[in-house]
A and B are shown apart, each in its own frame.
Chain A
Amino acid sequence: MSLSHKQMQMIKRVLWTVSLMIVAVPFVFPFLWMVSSGFKNAAEIFGQPSLLPATWRWQNFLEVFDHQPFARQYFNSLYISGAVTVVTLVISSLAGYALARLRFAGSALLMLFLISALMVPEEVTIIPNFFLIRLMGLMDTHVPLVLLPVFGAHGVMATFLMRQYFVALPKELEDAGKMDGLSRIGIWWKIALPMSRPALAAVAIITFLHSWNLFLEPLVFLSSLEKFTLPLALANFTDAYGLPLWHLQLAATSLAVVPILGVYLIAQRQIIESFAMSGVKG
């Protein structure tokens, strides 16, 4: 018996979808397991595994806040990431504008310098930066967590993303702005920026996530619990012997990850496009 062309196509499509679903398992499973285990009690965590908890233990999510100043830490992450995002937007769009639109001797050299920063891992400069921050008296503050991403590889990436976008803006618009009496800052603020919303959104999204997920810098610069950011706090759910308190750790991790995932699911198109635009790391 031979199958019609249409039937073959159908079977192919089903097989295709099923195989993609199998590949998707290790991508989805950790999230499901994380949330479900956040509801389990300590005993069940090590018992017979099941995707759904035998009893839903909501208290885990409250105990998270007893174990550490988790609300404070959550807020720290929010406001630091917000600050990094705003500062990065301003600084990278200023520099990106100059590199894209203004003629000045040394711009090519400057670009080369900045590109080199993209190649260097932050582990290379973290030791001198530690001494620098200590010298400035900024240890155990949030200042370095704003300064280092803004002026590190990530800031350079944002600058290049903005530059890439500004390069494509028509030059005559700026001339029109000059005829209308705008200063250079005015042209940047009232013409270049409003026309570059997609690039600004991309930079904002990537920058926020970058700062939100940062780990090495908080680990090096922060020491007091109430200053911690989320990633540092999550790593810190251990008992007196340094062993993980799994049910609390997973509940806290769920609290940190799920809202971001929620935003991602709503705005997945925009977020994915932002990363595609950057063409660089996250």
Chain B
Amino acid sequence: MTPSEKTTTMAHASRVPWLTLRRKEALEAWLFVSPTLIGFVIFFLGPLIAVGLYSLTEWNLLSQESTFVGVANFRDALTVNPDFWHVVRNSALFALGLVPMNMALALMLAIALSRPFFGVVFFRTIFFAPVITSAVAWAIVWKFLLQGEAGAVNQLLASIGIDGPNWLREPNWAMFAVIVTRVIKMVGLNMILYIAALQAIPRDYEQAAQLEGASRWQVFHMVIWPLLAPTTLIIMVITTIGSFKVFDHIYLMTGGGPENGTLVLAYYIYQQGFEFFNIGYASALAIIMFVIVLALTIVQLILRQKGSG
């Protein structure tokens, strides 16, 4: 049996063409992904490697000279330049303020708006509207509203007897203001994701828990919240990464000020690279940002794994 089987396969082997359906499919697949793949290599992977190489040079665009300096830029950032840690602190503050505030508000709004009632579409539309609005427009309007004495917010506060601060001119208040206005802009997105997740939870679970005599809080705490965990994780990762990316919002509201009080990493990279032309140093900052974002993502994923395992 075996020898004869062998000879038949051999005899036919020469007649089997190279371009089988299977190979054709693979070839077509590569053709289909090639625009994405080529663009990805040119505008993402290549630059990612390049920025790593730049970070090892002393390169000022004005002097047109670049020299290899090893890890000097990183050493400079981490141990010499006082701005760096200040900027990292600002970025951390921004993230620590924005992420919990955004997620808590998003969840509350989602719970309020996940069941049909009169006006639910109206409220959803309103809370989502800032998401589709350009960050630039949003920043311009809020900068206008938050001006010292003439600003509408302070006038409003004055009418109820509160003497509002000069929001964007005092470092701590400025940070607070950029966080809150950013939360208002973006919370609608997380709200929508939470609403989708809440609506996907079968009502049976809740009803079963209620039949067993669970209070509303217990139902939420013991049934809904655990079922939302995957959504919460995704939202947390997206929102955290998003908070590190924020540039236009701060650029236009405070310009990183006052006294660098709102100078965050993304802005610092832009400033060093495109205002001061310290390409090497800015590239080192970009690498640091990359590492931070990567680390935060991985940590959150691991925490989640442990939590569920």
Contact = CB atoms under 8 A, between A and B. Distances in A.
Do A and B pair up? The answer is yes
B22 A103 contact: yes
A282 B131 contact: yes
Contacts of A105: 26
A166 to B, nearest CB: 11
Contacts of A45: 150
A250 interface: yes
Interface in B129-169: 129-138, 140-145, 150, 152, 155
B83 interface: no
A279 interface: yes
Interface centre among A159, A184, A272 (most CB of B within 10 A): A272
B309 to A, nearest CB: 22
Interface stretch (A53-61, A64-72, A92-100, A196-204): A92-100
B54 A127 contact: yes
B133 A234 contact: no
A129 B36 CA distance: 17
B35 to A, nearest CB: 5
B170 interface: no
A280 B192 CA distance: 11
Q: Which residue among B36, B46, B155, B286 has the maximum number of chain A CB atoms within 10 Å of its CB? A: B36
A219 B245 CA distance: 15
Nearest to A234: B136
Interface string B53-80: 0100000000000000000000000000
Interface in A104-160: 104-105, 107, 110, 113-114, 117, 119-132, 147-148, 150-152, 155-156, 159
Contact of B290 (A120, A156, A234, A282): A120
Contact of A275 (B112, B189, B265, B286): B189
A63 B128 CA distance: 31
Nearest to B131: A282
Given A26-B184, A264-B129, A92 B123 contact: no
B245 A234 contact: no
A120 B293 contact: yes
Contact of B192 (A95, A256, A275): A275
Interface residues of B, number: 87
Interface string B109-125: 10010000101010111
A165 B118 CA distance: 32
Given A122-B245, A151-B43, A27 B184 contact: yes
A151 B36 contact: yes
Nearest to B280: A127
Nearest to B117: A13
Contact of A152 (B44, B131, B142): B44
A212 B152 CA distance: 28
Interface string A35-57: 00100000001111100000000
A221 to B, nearest CB: 11
A176 interface: no
A113 B46 CA distance: 13
A282 B131 CA distance: 7
B126 interface: yes
A6 B54 CA distance: 70
B42 interface: yes
Contacts of A122: 245
Contacts of A99: 33
Given A130-B273, A150-B39, A276-B192, 11 more contacts: A24-B126, A29-B145, A30-B138, A31-B141, A95-B36, A110-B37, A114-B36, A127-B283, A213-B134, A215-B247, A250-B144
20 contacts: A16-B112, A29-B145, A33-B141, A91-B39, A98-B32, A102-B29, A103-B25, A117-B44, A123-B289, A126-B273, A128-B48, A150-B39, A215-B247, A230-B136, A231-B248, A244-B143, A253-B140, A275-B131, A279-B234, A281-B238
